Structure 1
Amino acid sequence: MTRNWGMTIPFYDRSLAKSQELIAELPGLGYTDAWSAEVNGNDGFVPLAMASQWAPGIRLGSAIVPVSTRGPGLLAMSAATLADLAPGRFVLGIGSSSPAIVERWNAGEFAKPYARTRDTLRFLRRALAGEKVSERYETFEIKGFKLERAPKTAPKIVLAALRPRMLRLAAEEADGAITNWLAPEDVPKVRAEIGPGTELIARLFVCVSEDTDKVREMARWMLASYLTVPAYAAFHDWLGRGEVLRPMHEAWAAGDRQAALKAIPDEVVDALVVHGDAATCRARIRRYVDNGLDTPVLAPIPGGEVPIEQAVRDLAPVRED
């Protein structure tokens, strides 16, 4: 079994302010990592800053912060702050995000996502090493930026990557790749693009529930909201689900949300969302690891018979002994 076992923070059923006690439990339960997310709830950095004090010793990572909603210098400053709070334990996860998040919600420009991610990675490498950076990149220009206080230990940087080009960039220039919404059987195909020496991280959505129909109904909403995003649609086309998901995409494009939900086959839901009792869920997570995943990052979702607080405890790796 992998030595890494991560948890998404804060938890879906509570605010960051009400998460302190459960976050503080994570190291004792056997969790090695705590990873934040950034969509339209908490930002990607503050939960990690708080966790650095609430759960000393745990590795902290952002999965992910977009490269187009903050300037490169601000990203460097935020990363340096976390690296100072958690020396050697902070991993900066960055990615291109999506047009909805970058443009519609943050009034930014979603242009050349691969190049913007690559350029930001290259800038951050230099800035977090304490260099003064003056350089024209393909997607932006930096003139004389230097961190006032560079971290003693520069954080590792990992990339959100869904398809071969970005996966190869993660392997060649970053310290790892983060992916999302994949089945255990998909892991070898992703792993083949990055090779054996690059850390592969994935967020796994988990519902501890034996009410299969209820889980599938809830999960379909989550899947439809993600898999209709162009990047995820292309990802699953590459993984081989293009035809089986075509009816969903057609119904969604026509504005028929209910038909789109019904068009997602049960087998796709069951492949992409971990569910069942806690033992079944842990066994499913082990399949990801056995197939080449280095760091599972669990994201327990509400709706099951088991409250999230208990699910966090039941899914902990210490229970594998």
Structure 2
Amino acid sequence: MKASVGRYGIWSLGLRSEDPARRGELAEAAAELEELGFGAVWLGGSSGVEHAVPLLGATSRLVVATGIQSIWQYEAAETAARFDALETSHPGRFLLGLGVSHARLTDRYRRPYSAMVEYLDALDAAGVPAESRVLAALGPKMLELSRDRAAGAHPYLVTPEHTTLARGILGDAPLLAPEAKVVLDTDPERARATARQALALYLTLPNYTNMFLRFGFTEDDLTNGGSDQLIDALFAWGDEQRIRERIEAFHAAGADHVALQLVDDGPRDALPRAAWRRLAELLR
């Protein structure tokens, strides 16, 4: 899977839609991303296997991954059946990203680690191979599970320092594909304001704020939308060289693949195709 996903991918809420009227738009966007050289697209939000169908049908090489499917929202048996159908029609091109979400986002949240183990057990029994799935992993226990029961990890909203930790736990073989946020803006005040708007929700979720504290940030860094230090650690912004260097810092820290999320002041479910073209150009 490492070779298939390549060095860069696109993470997008906009590529996940249940509106039949958007299928053509999504297919066209996916085809262009493949042409631009991205190896994978990650369907943001709690995406399911079914959301990958129109994108896989419109492309020939692109890997489509869920980033992330909530184990509370989709039963394992349903997921396995849909995976089997998709693997039959598009072998080796779908990556099942799984996560435990957050307590405030689902009333089913309980014993997240044990629940993930049970879910993986059910997928194993249904024949879904470990090499076709990755886990949303932030802490050591889930990273170890990513190493032992999946193809690797897809950590979200992390820094290169977290990538170093993750690689140390995973070892060399598993896929490490962190998500990284990019703001194509050279104005510091405006770029940080855009970043803070995107970060607001995550500052209410203990899974993330506890991680930030473990990596040396303070409670003060988490107030008022996030300190400049926190924003600059989590978002690549500035001129092309600065953005390129920030993205490459993840590779230097041990990432195999970086899933890039374009952040701007538009709707979160938009398809920023012009910005994706700019990003592809600066990565060449």
Shift of 1:226: 0.6
Give the 3-state SS of the residue equivalent to 2:118 in structure 1. Answer: helix
| Cα pair distance change 1:212/1:81, threshold 3 Å | farther
Give, as a single letter, the amino acid of the residue that structure 2 aligns with 1:70. Y
Among candidates 283, 289, 293, match of residue 245 of structure 2:
283
Alpha-carbon contact 1:79-1:155 (below 8 Å) kept: no
Question: 2:204 is matched with which residue?
Answer: 228
Instruction: Letter of the 1:53 partner, please give it.
Output: G
Q: What is the aligned partner in structure 2 of residue 212 from structure 1?
A: 188
**Which residue number in structure 1 is paired with residue 273 of structure 2?**
309
1:182 paired with 2:158, answer yes
Whether the 8 Å CA contact 1:61–1:92 is kept in 2: the answer is yes
Corresponding position: 1:25 with 2:32: yes
Following TM superposition, by how much is the alpha carbon of 1:88 offset from its aligned partner in structure 2, in angstroms? 1.0
1:1-40 equivalent positions in 2, closer than 5 A:
3-9=6-12, 11=14, 16-17=22-23, 18-39=25-46
- Secondary structure (helix, strand or coil) at the match of 1:161 reads coil
| TM-score of the superposed pair, with normalisation by structure 2 | 0.86
Q: Deviations over 1:166-209 (max 9, x none)?
A: 11111112111110111223321222222222111111111111
Out of 118, 135, 140, the residue aligned to residue 164 of structure 1 is: 140
**Among 64, 68, 71, the residue aligned to 2:68:** 64
Corresponding position: 1:75 with 2:79: yes
Q: 1:288 to 1:154 in 2, by over 3 A?
A: closer
- The equivalent residue for 2:90 is 86
Q: Confirm or deny: 8 A CA contact 1:300 1:312 kept in the other structure.
A: yes
The Cα shift of 1:319 comes to: 5.1
Aligned mates of 2:243, 2:30 — CA distance in 1: 21
Q: How many residues are treated as equivalent by the alignment?
A: 272
1:4/1:295 contact within 8 Å kept: yes
In structure 1, the residue matched to 2:56 is 52
Identity of counterpart residues, as a percentage?
A: 27
1:81-122 deviations in whole A, cap 9, x for unaligned?
33223201111111111123222xxxxx11111111111112
Contact 2:194 2:263 in 1 (8 A): no
Offset at residue 298 of structure 1 (A): 0.9
- TM superposition shift of 1:276: 1.8
Look up the equivalent residue of 2:60 and give its one-letter code: P
SS in 2 for 1:179: coil
* SS of equivalent to 2:74: coil
Deviation at 1:274, TM superposition (A): 1.3
* 1:229-308 matched pairs, under 5 angstroms: 229-245=205-221, 248=223, 260-261=224-225, 264-303=226-265, 308=272
Distance in 2 (CA, whole Å) between partners of 1:174 and 1:214 is 40
Asked if 1 retains the 8 angstrom alpha-carbon contact of 2:44 and 2:67, the reply is yes
Q: How many angstroms apart in 2 are the aligned matches of 1:101 and 1:37?
A: 15
CA RMSD between the two structures = 2.5
In the TM superposition, residue 154 of structure 1 has moved relative to its aligned partner by: 7.8
Cα distance between partner residues in 2 of 1:53 and 1:278: 33
Query: In 2, Cα distance between the equivalents of 1:115 and 1:313?
Result: 41
Q: Is 231-240 or 57-66 further displaced after alignment?
A: 231-240
CA distance in 2, matches of 1:265, 1:102: 29
Give me the whole-angstrom Cα distance separating, in 2, the residues matched to 1:86 and 1:214. 42
Question: Do the aligned partners of 1:207 and 1:303 also contact (CA within 8 Å) in 2?
Answer: no
Structure 1 spans left out of the alignment, 5+ residues: 104-108, 130-152, 249-259
- Closer/same/farther in 2, CA of residues 205 and 85 from structure 1, 3 Å limit: farther
Q: Which runs of 5+ in 2 are unaligned?
A: none
Measured in 2, the distance between the counterparts of 1:311 and 1:77 equals 36
* Structure index of larger Rg: 1
Q: Closer, same or farther in 2 for the Cα pair 1:310/1:280, shift >3 Å?
A: farther
Q: CA deviation at 1:155?
A: 6.0
Q: 1:308 to 1:279 in 2, by over 3 A?
A: farther
Normalised to the residue count of structure 1, the TM-score between the two structures is 0.77
> Post-superposition shift, 1:75?
1.8
Report the counterpart of residue 121 of structure 1 in structure 2: 120
Q: Distance in 2 between matches of 1:309 and 1:180?
A: 22
